[in-house]
Amino acid sequence: MANLLDAPALQEILDTAFPGADVPRIERVDSDSVTVRQVVTERHGRPGGTLSGPTMMMLADTAAWMAILAQIGPVVLAVTTSLHIDFLRKPAVTDLLAKATVLKLGRRLAVVDIGLFSQDHEQLVAKAQVTYAIPSTLNESAPQ
């Protein structure tokens, strides 16, 4: 499926939806995936010299939302219905990257797989799967 939105368009949606917030940066948009970066500061950490779980969950959810919008357009009312995350190893206290790949894009639901990586590291620090509900007002001809 061809992307309807590119990186600058997705970034504008994030910046507009959350004005003044510490929103992630859209790094790359491919045919079925989006890569998103969260710039990490001390406030994203937790005791023990690691990143907080909520930081990783936020990035997984945001990356999933952006991957879906890249394919369906600016349907900002698409909402999370399920988020499952496995924390696999201690992340470095550095920028966090999420690669979100759309597994299924139906008329009402979309399922996205997300891999989270510390910058300059190849091993996953967390793996998530997110399901989004797509508003019924969207094009009814989308595949199930």
* pLDDT for position 50: 82
pLDDT in tens, 28-69: 999 889 999 999 877 766 777 788 889 999 999 999 999 999
**For the chain, what are the domain ranges?**
7-133
Residues of the chain with confidence (pLDDT) below 70 = 1-2, 44-45, 137-144
Q: What is the β-pairing status of strands 45-46 and 33-38?
A: unpaired
What's the CATH class of domain 7-133? alpha beta
* pLDDT for position 12: 96
* pLDDT for position 139: 46
* pLDDT for position 141: 41
- Residues 6 or more apart whose CB falls under 8 angstroms from that of 69 comprise 5, 10, 13, 75, 76, 78
* pLDDT for position 104: 96
Query: CA-CA distances (angstroms) from residue 14 to 2, 19, 29, 33, 46?
Result: 21, 8, 15, 17, 25
* pLDDT for position 42: 73
